[in-house]
């Protein structure tokens, strides 16, 4: 039997809601997270041991991975290897489906921080 999580994490930035996250599922060694990002949002550099695939459901975003920038829009996919620095800059309000393996521990702890 799998373990299902379904909760929201909303992060206000400068008084506005710039990031909304919802863990859709975390069964086995996979985690699916829906991320909504407001236009103009620029993320900090991120790096984690989990592999990541990001699918763009809506909008336009610039991913920077290992210093290489790539513009993604609806239907595009970005693979992020384990322990590689990356960041995101939102060009148009977007919805991203992030898949992590193994389960990203920082995301698992969001529920207890709300």
Q: What is the rounded CA–CA span in Å between residue 24 and residue 31? A: 8
Tell me the two tokens of residue 82: 């384990």
| CATH number attached to the domain at 7-93 | 2.60.120.10
Per residue in 21-79, pLDDT tens? 999 999 899 999 999 999 999 999 999 999 999 999 999 999 999 999 999 999 999 99
Domain regions of the chain by residue span = 7-93
The residue with greater pLDDT, 2 or 88, is 88
The residues that bridge with 111 in the sheet, in sequence order, are none
Confidence of residue 113 (pLDDT cuts 50, 70, 90): very low
Residue for token pair 């595009």? 76
Residue 82 scores a pLDDT above 60? yes
Strands (E), 14-50: 16-25, 31-37
Q: Which of 4-13, 17-26, 92-101 has the lowest mean pLDDT?
A: 4-13
Q: Is 111 helix (H, G, I), strand (E, B) or coil?
A: helix
């Amino acid at each position: 039997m799998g373990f299902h999580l379904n909760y929201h994490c909303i992060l206000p930035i400068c008084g506005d809601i710039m990031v909304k996250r919802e863990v859709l599922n975390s069964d086995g060694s996979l985690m699916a997270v829906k991320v909504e990002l407001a236009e103009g949002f620029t993320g900090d550099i991120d790096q984690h041991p989990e592999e990541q695939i990001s699918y763009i459901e809506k909008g336009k975003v610039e991913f920077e991975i290992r210093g290489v920038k790539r513009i993604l829009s609806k239907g595009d996919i970005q693979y992020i290897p384990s322990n590689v620095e990356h960041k995101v800059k939102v060009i148009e309000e977007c919805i991203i489906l992030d898949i992590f393996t193994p389960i990203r521990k920082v995301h698992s702890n969001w529920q207890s921080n709300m």
